[in-house]
Structure 1
Amino acid sequence: MKKLSVLELFAGVGGFRLGLEQTQKYEVVWSNQWEPSTKTQHASMVYEARFGTENHSNKDISEVAAADIPDADILVGGFPCQDYSVATTLQNSKGLIGKKGVLWWSIHRILSEKKNPPKYLFLENVDRLLKSPSSQRGRDFAIMLKSLDELGYAVEWRVINASEYGMPQRRRRVFFLGYHTSTPIYKKLMKAATTDWVQNKGVLAQAFPVNENLEKQQCFSIEEDLVSLSNNFNKDEKISPFENSGVFIKGKVFTAKTFPGFDGKRTVLKDVLQKQDVPADFYISEADFPKWEYLKGSKKEQRTAKNGYTYNYSEGAMIFPDALDNASRTIITGEGGKSPSRFKHVVQTKNGLRRLTPVELERLNMFPDNHTQLEGISNAKRAFFMGNALVVGVVEKIGSALYNVISSLE
């Protein structure tokens, strides 16, 4: 089977592309990266420096015509986490239009307007998507499932913590795959027992095996139109009906809690540390040490808000410095810069306590060393990229499994 052609949306610095191209089974034919809040398009600059400018778009995706996007086998992207509610129906439109600027609806628009929509979807988001918003737990995910159902796709999803499969960072993300009705996978899923798909036969189960226990299994239907779902789904319930794994086909949800089945080699924080060439400004000065210790420590104290309101504040201690014999904590976008912080990583080395370097942050996401190094890109910006990125190894494993299942059926 030939390589599958890929549209990469919300490309960032290219994590999806790296993961898919490492399998040697995919070829990105068009990509888009646009950061609405900045004048200088730093992520797009890095993307173009690594992969070239050909077929790369640095425009607001909501303004790119579907006709200007080439046909491809698969659409991939880690789209921003926003409020996905449905604003309105528009007369004479092909369905429902969500809130302006919410980028899920840009994916929806492209899929609905393309004459030959991609047969497969491979999307990623933060795992709280399955539980948001707090007033209607699970509503946002239900809207996505239903909107994809109306466009002719079945969906399987799984929350994957990269460290539970031996990768160097504890990073939990929900990955979901869409299969168009025209594909052999869709037909296979239609005939499969849903429990068997989630545990064994599905693409995600083949990429990331689970153990035999399935907990909190449930089935339910999503039959309302999108506006009704937006207004009424799971209203005032405390718990989302979506577990960390599931499938959705023809309006029917099967969901269950799965547990990772992995006993292979594990990469830990000390494995990614640079042995030399660490600039002096990454080391913590003695003068700053008490601030770091305070921020990382436990607290029970009275605080006063700007409006004068006094309240009791408490939080537990964090491991300080970070444990070297475990996978790292999740990288966040504020990881860069010298200022003391509760959430930045600090490691003990023979030369003293220090923050993580951009190369170490890249390694925690399984990017090549210095992937984000470019003239005009600060270390803090490089850290920001990694706080937004995904773990490349997760994409590679899912990409390989998806290709293998497709080729076995065609």
Structure 2
Amino acid sequence: MSGSESLDLLRRARELLTQQTLADRLGTTTKTISRWERGLSRCPQMVIPALREILRMDKSSDAPGQKFSFIDLFAGIGGIRLGFERAGGRCVFTSEWNEWSKKTYQSNFGDDHPFNGDITKVDAHDVPDHDVLLAGFPCQPFSIAGVSKKNALGRPHGFECSTQGTLFFDIERIIAAKRPKAFLLENVKNLVSHDKGNTFRVIKDVLENKLGYRVFHRVIDGKYFVPQHRERILIVGFREDTDFTWDDLLLPEQGPDITSILHPEDGSEAAESHYTSGPQAKVNPKYVLTANMWTYLQDYAAKHQAAGNGFGFGLVRPGIDRHTRTLSARYYKDGSEILIHRGKGKRPRRLTPRECARLMGFPDSFKIVVSDTQAYKQFGNSVVVDVMEAVARIMAPRIVELKAREEGGVIQPRLMSAA
């Protein structure tokens, strides 16, 4: 037996069990399990039979490879769903109001379950039973750019924004009615500081004191998984005590660099649609900035630099710069936050929609069925799929344990009060 086999079995067992429960089953300690996972010590071949038996006994009752069910609210194009499916989840309900996003979502995931548009018009009791509620609720009322723009226009933001800010309370009413075992909410980093912290205090108070969930939050930068600086807050909640800890989230020391998502333009990938063409799959010249646009952006940056402001474009040099600025929904306008350097004396280009998909962690099999403008908006509004998967994998064992305890299953975890 190889060491790689024991590591693979360990990984699969950890998708079902927490470190503490697995340590108890193997007669070892959580510290030892952690050292095996981190590669600090070798996972011995002698544990292979025990790991096989654990996997044989603790198979999920949902379906092969599916350990828990979830609903996907404010689904966008399905980035959170992809991450949780990879961790063994099964989607049973989706809500997304934007017609273009619905087109992309349904082209990639089909229509195997109820799909609803406006969640505000859905009776919470009509939502199917589920183990986990997922929601990337609208971030514009809380984002730095959104707040600045609305302040300038004299418009309300945060919970005062009647069109988007109050959608959090639709999440509240569904959690209250369906009582899922867990939830994951995603939003911009600025949610924590918005309105001097009052907005986040309201959210935590509702989740913890009104709904009675154990809540954990953390700001995670996507640059550990994709070559993009993208900080987002993730709020995780469990209906009952578990030993969930963010310490189980293993972040790579260094993520991939920008070259990993760019079209190689050397014939090693097939040409795609109008993004690339020819035998070497060269990027379509239409993505190169026009002379007028490039002059405008340089002048704009120089003006703000002279004024002591930080506004300007984000020029990324492949082979030198590792990651980009944050991709936003406004990327379709001028591409200024992420421009790819093409060499001295050449005008830079913007990313193609396929490169944007890769920058967000979507696989190349993901279908882009809308215009460039809509694709840029969709990926700019989405989540880093790899971040969602990483968080889903540390949530999944706890969810499975709570399911087993509730259903009288074979897993008997030792649950501890969350810190």
Question: Same-fold call, TM > 0.5?
Answer: yes
Residue 29 of structure 1, aligned match among 80, 88, 92: 92
- Which residue in the other structure is 2:3 paired with? none
Q: Does 1:328 align with 2:363?
A: no
| Equivalent position to 1:272, from 253, 258, 261 | 261
In structure 2, give the amino acid aligned to 1:274.
Answer: H
Distance 1:100 1:395 in 2: 23
Distance 1:100 1:21, change over 3 A: closer
* Deviation, structure 1 residue 406: 4.1
Q: 1:207 aligns with which of 221, 245, 249?
A: 249
Give CA deviations for 1:104-162 in whole Å, capped at 9, x if unaligned. 01001111223xx10101111001110111xxx11111111111121120100000011
Cα deviation code 1:4-31 (max 9, x no counterpart): 10011000000011111122x1111111
Give the AA of the match of 1:10. Answer: F
In 2, distance between residues paired with 1:155 and 1:379?
Answer: 38
1:204–1:292 distance in 2 versus 1, CA, 3 Å = same
> Structure 2: how far apart are the matches of 1:47 and 1:347?
32
**Cα shift at 1:100:** 8.6
Q: Is residue 29–residue 55 contact of structure 1 (8 Å, CA) maintained in 2?
A: yes
1:382 partner letter: A
Deviation at 1:74, TM superposition (A): 0.4
| Alpha-carbon spacing, 1:300–1:48, altered in 2? closer, same or farther (3 Å) | closer
**Is this contact kept in 2: 1:335–1:345, CA < 8 A?**
no
| Contact 2:213-2:237 at 8 Å conserved across structures | yes
1:107–1:176: structure 2 CA closer, same or farther, 3 Å change rule? same
Q: In structure 2, what is the equivalent of residue 113 of structure 1?
A: 177
**What residue in structure 2 maps to residue 400 of structure 1?**
393
1:386 and 2:379 correspond: yes
Per the alignment, residue 281 of structure 1 pairs with 286
CA separation of 1:43 and 1:372: change in aligned 2, threshold 3 A: farther
Further displaced range: 386-395 or 144-153: 144-153
Partner of 2:202: 143
Kept in 2, the 8 Å contact 1:203–1:402? The answer is: no
Secondary structure of the structure 1 residue equivalent to 2:70: strand
Any idea what SS the aligned residue of 2:218 has?
A: strand
Hey, what's the Cα distance between the residues in 2 that align with 1:349 and 1:365? Answer: 25
Displacement of 1:319 in angstroms is 6.5
| Most deviating of 167-176 and 272-281 | 272-281
- CA distance in structure 1 between the partners assigned to 2:336 and 2:385 by the alignment: 26
Contact 1:268 1:328 in 2 (8 A): no
DSSP-derived class of the 1:138 partner:
helix
Q: Is the 8 A contact 2:329 2:378 kept in 1?
A: yes
* TM-fit CA distance, 1:291: 1.5
Give CA deviations for 1:33-53 in whole Å, capped at 9, x if unaligned: 113xxxxx0001111111112
Matched position secondary structure for 2:315:
coil
Counterpart-to-counterpart distance in 2, 1:206 and 1:298? 46
Deviations 1:299-338 (A, max 9, x none): 367xxxxxxxxxxx5424656532333111100111125x
The aligned residue for residue 197 of structure 1 is: none
For the residue of structure 2 that corresponds to 1:102, the secondary structure is: helix
Could you say which residue in structure 2 is the equivalent of 1:294? 299
User: Contact 2:314 / 2:337 at 8 angstroms: preserved in 1?
Assistant: no
2:226 paired residue number: 167
- Quick one: structure 1 residues 100 and 176, their matched pair in 2 at CA, closer, same or farther if it must change by over 3 Å? closer
Confirm or deny: 8 A CA contact 1:155 1:179 kept in the other structure. Answer: yes
1:346-379, Cα deviation, whole Å (9 max, x unpaired): 43269852111001111110012263511xx210
Offset from partner CA, 1:178-233 (integer Å, 9 cap, x none): 0113xx51xx4xxxxxxxxxxxxx44221246xxxxxxxxxxxxxxxxxxxxxxxx
| Structure 2: distance between partners of 1:320 and 1:344 | 5
Task: Confirm whether residue 49 of structure 1 aligns to residue 49 of structure 2.
Answer: no
* Pair 1:131-2:120 in alignment: no
**Alpha-carbon distance in structure 2 between the residues aligned to 1:173 and 1:100:** 18
Any idea what SS the aligned residue of 1:156 has?
Answer: strand
Pairing partner for 1:348 from 342, 345, 353: 342
Contact 1:296-1:342 at 8 Å conserved across structures: no
Alpha-carbon spacing, 1:315–1:342, altered in 2? closer, same or farther (3 Å) = farther
Quick one: structure 1 residues 287 and 205, their matched pair in 2 at CA, closer, same or farther if it must change by over 3 Å? Answer: same
Name the % identity: 28
Do the aligned partners of residues 84 and 107 (structure 1) sit closer, same or farther apart at CA in structure 2, a change above 3 Å counting? farther
SS in 1 for 2:246: helix
Q: Pairwise mapping of residues 223-238 of structure 1 onto structure 2 (< 5 A)?
A: none
Runs of at least 5 residues in structure 2 that lack an aligned partner in the other structure: 1-58, 61-66, 142-156, 266-275, 277-282, 402-411, 414-419
Among 83, 86, 100, the residue aligned to 1:19: 83
Q: Could you tell me how far apart the structure 2 residues matched to 1:296 and 1:84 are? A: 30
**C-alpha separation between the residues in 2 aligned to 1:353 and 1:7?**
41
Please state whether the residue corresponding to 1:67 is helix, strand or coil: helix
Would you say the 8 A contact 1:19–1:393 is kept in 2? yes
Q: Would the aligned equivalents of 1:167 and 1:266 in 2 still touch at CA under 8 Å?
A: yes
CA contact (8 A) 1:131 1:138 kept: yes
SS in 2 for 1:330: coil
Residue matched to 1:78: 136
Structure with more strand by fraction: 1
